Amino acid sequence: DRHPEPQAEPDPSKKTLVILGTGWGSVSLLKRLDTENYNVVVISPRNYFLFTPLLPSCTTGTIEHRSIMEPIRTILRSKKASAKYYEAEASSIDPDRKVVKIFDNSEVRGETTETEVPYDMLVVGVGAENATFGIPGVREHSCFLKEIGDAQLIRKKIMDCVETAAFKDQAPEEIDRLLHMVVVGGGPTGVEFAGELQDFFEEDIKKLIPDISDRFRVTLVEALPNVLPSFSKQLIEYTESTFKEEKIDIKTKTMVKRVTDKTVEADITGPDGKKERIVLPYGLLVWATGNAVRPVVKDLMSRIPAQKDSRRGLAVNEYLVVQGARDIWAVGDCAVAGYAPTAQVAGQEGTFLARLFNNMAKTEQLEENIRELSSSLNLKPGNAAEISRAIEDQERQLRRIKDIKPFHYSHQGSLAYIGSEKAVADVSWFNGNFATGGSLTFLFWRSAYLSMCFSTRNRLLVINDWLKSKLFGRDVSRE
Ligand code: FAD
Ligand code: NAD
């Protein structure tokens, strides 16, 4: 339990390393970064790290949201040398002047709400925003599932729909609408959320409000011919048959075109290739169709000519350096390094950068030592042999650490929860792959995610939540 010294002013002898974001990429970097080597400044509108893999469980109260949050202040406190944190959003980056423009977007604001932070080195780890593809009505009427606030809103809305459906004299078609939960996007986010939702209904709501129990329906809408496109064929089939048993309706080859406050309009492609328009009335609509580029990233891309052909984010080289920029690196969902936008990739990229930066600092130190030793060689010829040995030693160390290999992603596997205490896993094992699904995989899923939680505190809270919801049921009170 360390308490770093307060850092009053930046040390002029050190470079200023600015890190944007407090997600998987940036926090993995911070965790392993030797903060003594740089003046570290972290900037993010979110003053905590969020363990996203368990976010779908927060939408129904299986897990309470604070159990998967870790304050950035706690993370920084455990570092050897202190680092600054500003709760702010980066609005633009000027790669020529080497400054980041930041603004305070929170409810309480001081006199200064906008300012600039200069950097010598910059890491962009701002993640991505929700893709809507400009489909009308999506932003106004649907819930996303990316941040804690989204999960809280969904949790509230589920109960709002249920209580409104149970309202006296409600018309039958209105009850059906209110209890129809539509999920758009059959990627892992949509699938995991649909599974959690059906569990909540089967295990809790049905018992508490039996009079509406036969009207609750979950529909998962996916534009492609199947859900979970990144998983193996066998697991796709297993997920689809499990969903059938759970009574989750999967509508594949169905592309949503328009959303209103009470309906989703979509085109279904039939076996003959013909399109048919369907209208689904809904009570809750959750939109999970993947990632789009954040404005701050788009703005930076427009300032760097080498980025003009990049569409999905900042193109980086094998050392995660932003192509065409100097002293800027990018990690995670905002970087295009040829891998899927996952926590696993972002985490490994952050760890790689920590090693790179620690090495860069060590290299500079060793080079400085060699310079000093070489000049003392002329001043103290009597100690020449000893000094030469010292120089050789420093040069050996330098050769060893200078030879840092490019970033290489090592895929550990993909895991997803699919409801009724079942999970699917594509796991890499000794250069091979094996696919598994079911209740044992569910236990594997739980233990894997538990071990990946940020801290022991998070782990204990998550275990406690799992036990609590198993023993007493989920809390259905609407905050
Ligand atoms: P993020 O973790 O999204 O962090 C971005 C950070 O940047 C945040 O702190 C944000 O506040 C901050 N930020 C945003 N805008 C600005 C700005 N303008 N200036 C400064 N800071 C800014 N992946 C897996 O591998 N396994 C899983 O099981 C899994 N489950 C998931 C479940 C859900 C519900 C979701 C939504 C995603 C899941 N993912 C999973 C994907 C994974 O969460 C992302 O790939 C990962 O979070 C990317 O990390 P990142 O650091 O790039 O971005
Ligand atoms: P995704 O990009 O994986 O899936 C989105 C799906 O939405 C796609 O299958 C797409 O065909 C569909 N879609 C797009 N527009 C549509 C429309 N108009 N109508 C109907 N369907 C439409 O998105 P995601 O699930 O949010 O995942 C984002 C990233 O996070 C991925 O890389 C994913 O692997 C990762 N993730 C991983 C896990 C896990 O490993 N358990 C969980 C969540 C997210």
122-178 confidence digits (pLDDT tens) = 999 999 999 999 999 999 999 999 999 999 999 999 999 999 999 999 999 999 999
* Pocket probe mutation, ligand 1, options 126, 153, 409, max atoms within 8 Å of Cβ: 126
Which atom, in ligand 2's list, is nearest to the CA of 227?
Answer: 9
Find the 95 Cα to ligand 2 centroid distance in Å: 32
Find the 228 Cα to ligand 2 centroid distance in Å: 8
User: Residue 196's pLDDT is what?
Assistant: 97
Determine which residue's CA is closest to atom 43 belonging to ligand 2.
Answer: 189
Q: Tell me what the mean pLDDT of segment 219-235 comes to.
A: 95
Find the 334 Cα to ligand 1 centroid distance in Å: 9
Where residue 344 falls (left for φ over 0; alpha for ψ -120 to 50; beta otherwise) is alpha
**Nearest residue to 220 via CA among 152, 266, 176, 158:** 266
Ligand 2 near 450 CB (within 6 A): no
Q: Which tens digits make up the pLDDT trace of 279-299?
A: 999 999 999 999 999 999 999
The ligand minimizing its distance to the Cα of 250 is: 2
Mean pLDDT, the chain, as a whole number?
Answer: 94
Q: Is the model's pLDDT at 7 over the cut of 80?
A: no
Q: How confident is the model at residue 3 (pLDDT cuts 50, 70, 90)?
A: low
Helical segments of 169-314, H only: 172-178, 188-200, 206-208, 233-245, 295-303
Q: Which tens digits make up the pLDDT trace of 330-372?
A: 999 999 999 999 999 999 999 999 999 999 999 988 998 999 9
The rounded distance, in Å, linking the Cα atoms of 451 and 463 is 11
User: Residue 377's pLDDT is what?
Assistant: 80
Find the 340 Cα to ligand 2 centroid distance in Å: 11
Return the percentage of the chain with pLDDT > 70, whole number.
98
Q: What is the model's pTM?
A: 0.95
Ligand 2 near 190 CB (within 6 A): yes
Element (H, E) at 147: none
Quote the DSSP letter at residue 321.
B
CA–CA–CA angle 59, 62, 65 (5° rounding)? 60
Q: Which tens digits make up the pLDDT trace of 385-422?
A: 889 999 999 998 888 887 789 999 999 999 999 999 99
* Pocket probe mutation, ligand 2, options 251, 342, 427, max atoms within 8 Å of Cβ: 342
